Amino acid sequence: MMLVGQAPGRVEEGAGRPFSGRAGRQLFRWLEAAGLGDEEAARRSVYITSITKCFPGPATSGSGDRRPTPAEVDLCRGHLDRQLALLQPWLILPVGQMALERFLGRLSMDLAVGRVFDAEGAELEPADALVAAGRRLVLPLPHPSGASRWLNAPAHKTLLGRALELLGRLQESPTIA
């Protein structure tokens, strides 16, 4: 499995470990709820990377990190492409809108979270995904940052719950794991 975020944050830049700050603690609670074990177990079973490889700096609003520019994304595209080619993950977990766009285009979080897709962007029924041996799957997650307000809506929390349930079912499936 490969988890792809937006970019390292300030804490991650200093620590040299992806998702090592507050958002990471939330992310690993989600992964544990999906059955991937505690943080260390999840880090052993999920390769964690990002769209861009450098901290983009703080957002001008003062809330969160600055979204990398299209030029910054283009500069790092080859690195992520090589990671994907080398690791050949069977499941990609794009975390947040920028990662979602990289793998599924301009699909909204509302239409992506809680659903599973093939590598070409076609939505799969959960039962089909469970028997999709040999196919790369994409299961989007929202960003766990407190700066993201997406999870404030109860309906969005339901979608996250559905996504975590799907992740648990997928990672337990002997036909694809």
- Residue 91 domain boundaries: 7-172
With respect to residue 40, please indicate whether it lies within any of the assigned structural domains: yes
- 92 close to 4: Cβ distance less than 8 angstroms: yes
Candidates 60, 54, 72; CA nearest to 10 is 54
Which CATH number is 59's domain given?
A: 3.40.470.10
With respect to residue 94, please indicate whether it lies within any of the assigned structural domains: yes
Q: What is the mean pLDDT of residues 127-132?
A: 72
With respect to residue 111, please indicate whether it lies within any of the assigned structural domains: yes
With respect to residue 168, please indicate whether it lies within any of the assigned structural domains: yes
With respect to residue 78, please indicate whether it lies within any of the assigned structural domains: yes
Say which residues have a Cβ less than 8 Å from residue 172's Cβ, sequence separation at least 6. 35
Domains: count for the chain: 1
Output the pLDDT for position 177: 42
**Helix (H) or strand (E) segment spanning residue 169:** helix 154-172
Output the pLDDT for position 61: 83
Query: Quick one: CA torsion of 113, 174, 49, 30, rounded to 10 degrees?
Result: 50
With respect to residue 2, please indicate whether it lies within any of the assigned structural domains: no
With respect to residue 177, please indicate whether it lies within any of the assigned structural domains: no
Output the pLDDT for position 133: 64
pLDDT, averaged across the chain: 89
pLDDT at 100 over 70: yes
* Lookup: tokens for 149: 């307000």
With respect to residue 1, please indicate whether it lies within any of the assigned structural domains: no
pLDDT at 102 over 70: yes
DSSP, collapsed to helix, strand or coil, labels residue 6 as coil
Q: What is the pLDDT of residues 50-98, one digit of tens each?
A: 999 888 777 788 777 888 999 999 999 999 999 999 999 999 999 999 9
